[in-house]
Amino acid sequence: MQRTLFNEDHAAFRESAKAFVERTITPNVEKFIEQRVIDRDVWLEAGRQGLLGLEIPEEYGGSGANDYRFNTVFAEELCRVNAAVASSLGIHGDVVAPYLVDLCTEEQKQRWLPGMCTGEIKTGIAMTEPSGGSDLAALKTNAVRDGDDWILNGSKTFITNGYTADMIVVAARTDPSKGSRGISLFAVETGMPGFERGRKLDKVGQHPSDTAELFFSDVRLPAANLIGEEGQGFIYMMERLPQERIGAAISNLAHAQGIFDETLEYVKERKAFGQAIGKFQHNKFLLSELRTKLDVTQAFVDTLTMQHVRGELSPVEAAQAKYWSADIENEVIDACVQLHGGYGYMTEYRVARAWMDARVTKIWAGSNEIMKELIGRELGL
């Protein structure tokens, strides 16, 4: 399908992003899967190529692109090789960066943003808790004032980049009496006494992306580590979740597109009963349906991406894109596994790993059921 989202600048950037991926990611994916983490050298190289600061102004070392279509291009190129690498780098540059750019003081920006751009400071964001899941308003991690400092206690789980991040944005309750209005955001940095990480979590998929539990036991945070205003954390998260969700939709779709393209080539070469398996009517019809669903979803996601570029994307539209793209991604990749036959169940085949990687997209960034709840409320239900 011809896409009208991009211009010549985006096309040139895509070539640069593709070259980075082919040079730095593709040859090392197997290693990243085995060790359950992406080498820091990848982050440093991405920094040298100007790929980590797309959301960050030039005065702090970023690209200052101010055009989400560049984020889209980078995510698509990463996802065509490995969805977990896209997730790890995306949390850093696509999710955390806007919090710091929008909410931090000048001193805080000087402390963190240049290192984020170079890859020397790797970041994550800690919202989810063991007991809360998608219910961010119910979080139990708390921070209590002690003079000018804050004392942080609690735990987080399923945190992408959690095992290796140098700085993590943590949501904590600072006023239990105010419900969602009593949540604040803090920067917790490696080496702070009382901050500990659990093991790398043993996930079904997304293996190159390190994911961990985080534990906070009387962690003393200086006032300079409060991000934004006290009590505004829930609002800050709600304001920025649409970007996280449209980013998830972009990645979901690019991941599915890549696996579909590989499978299409496979069914043209693989033979059974004297002909290519793609020639069988059932398979031909199935692939025709999948191609159409991908193109229709691409048009929808591209439209919403442009709305986001213009600052017009609503939370409900982002929820629609997130849940629908995750469902389509899983449907497409599951069908591609079936088309590969027994080989589709072998982890040395990328389609099998993609199948495992895709399943979490119905869960993270707000489960698909929560997305439908948001949409239903908009319908007045």
Helix 350-358 to helix 315-339 angle, to the nearest 10 degrees? Answer: 150
Q: Is 334 exposed, middle or buried (0-12, 13-18, 19+ CB in 10 A)?
A: middle
* pLDDT computed for residue 66 by the predictor: 87
- Which residue do the tokens 């977990």 mark? 84
For helices 83-90 and 233-269, angle between their N-to-C axes, nearest 10 degrees: 160
Residue 78 has pLDDT above 70, yes or no: yes
pLDDT at position 319: 97
Instruction: Give 346-368 pLDDT, tens digit per residue.
Output: 999 999 999 999 999 999 999 99
Closest listed residue to residue 287, CA positions, set 305, 270, 304: 270
pLDDT of residue 342: 96
The pair of three-digit structure tokens given for residue 40, joined into one six-digit string: 């820091």
Residues in the chain: 381
Pick the closest to residue 185 from 229, 218, 155 (CA basis). 229
Beta-bridge partners for 195? 216
Q: Any idea which residues carry the catalytic annotation?
A: 244
**At the fourth CATH level, which superfamily is domain 234-379?**
Butyryl-CoA Dehydrogenase, subunit A, domain 3 (1.20.140.10)
% of the chain at pLDDT higher than 90: 95
Q: Which residues pair with 187 in a beta bridge?
A: 169
Average pLDDT over residues 165-175: 97
Which sign, positive or negative, has the C-alpha torsion 214, 94, 354, 37?
A: negative
DSSP 262: H
For 217-245, the pLDDT digits (tens) are: 999 999 999 999 999 999 999 999 999 99
Looking at per-residue confidence, does 176 or 134 come out higher? 176
What tens digit of pLDDT does each residue of 203-221 get?
A: 999 999 999 999 999 999 9
Q: What is the mean pLDDT of residues 184-191?
A: 97
* Tokens found for residue 109: 């920006």
**228 token code pair:** 């934004």
Angstrom distances, CA of residue 256 to CA of 53, 149, 163? 26, 47, 28
Tokens in use for 239? 């304001």
Q: What is the DSSP string of 323-350?
A: HHHHHHHHHHHHHHHHHTGGGGG-TTSH
Q: What does the pLDDT look like over 288-336, one tens digit per residue?
A: 999 999 999 999 999 999 999 999 999 999 999 999 999 999 999 999 9
Mean pLDDT across the chain: 96
Say whether pLDDT at 132 is over 80. no
Q: What is the pLDDT of residues 6-48, one digit of tens each?
A: 999 999 999 999 999 999 999 999 999 999 999 999 999 999 9
Which residues, in sequence order, are CB contacts of 104 under 8 Å at separation 6+?
Answer: 112, 113, 227, 228
Confidence at residue 335, expressed as pLDDT on a 0 to 100 scale: 98
Cβ atoms of 332 and 254 within 8 Å: the answer is no
pLDDT(175) > 90: yes
The dotted CATH code for 8-121 is 1.10.540.10
Q: How confident is the model at residue 136 (pLDDT cuts 50, 70, 90)?
A: confident
CATH, domain 125-230, list 3.20.20.70, 3.40.50.1820, 2.40.110.10, 2.60.120.1270: 2.40.110.10
Q: Within 13 Å of residue 103, how many CA atoms lie on the same side as its CB?
A: 24
The number of angstroms, rounded, from the C-alpha of 29 to the middle of its chain's C-alpha atoms is: 18
pLDDT at 164 over 70: yes
What per-residue confidence (pLDDT) applies to 137?
76
State both tokens at 78.
């990463």
**Residue for token digits 């239990």?**
176
Task: Identify which of 59, 46, 49, 121 has the alpha carbon closest to the alpha carbon of residue 85.
Answer: 46
Say if residue 83's pLDDT is above 70.
yes
Q: Residue 1 — very low, low, confident or very high, per pLDDT cuts 50/70/90?
A: confident
What's the maximum distance between 2 C-alpha atoms anywhere in the chain? 79
Model confidence band, residue 133 (pLDDT cutoffs 50, 70, 90): low
Q: 336: which residues sit within 8 A by CB, 6+ positions away?
A: 259, 260, 262, 263, 344, 351, 354, 355
Which residue ranges make up each domain of the chain?
A: 8-121, 125-230, 234-379
Residue 65 pLDDT: 86
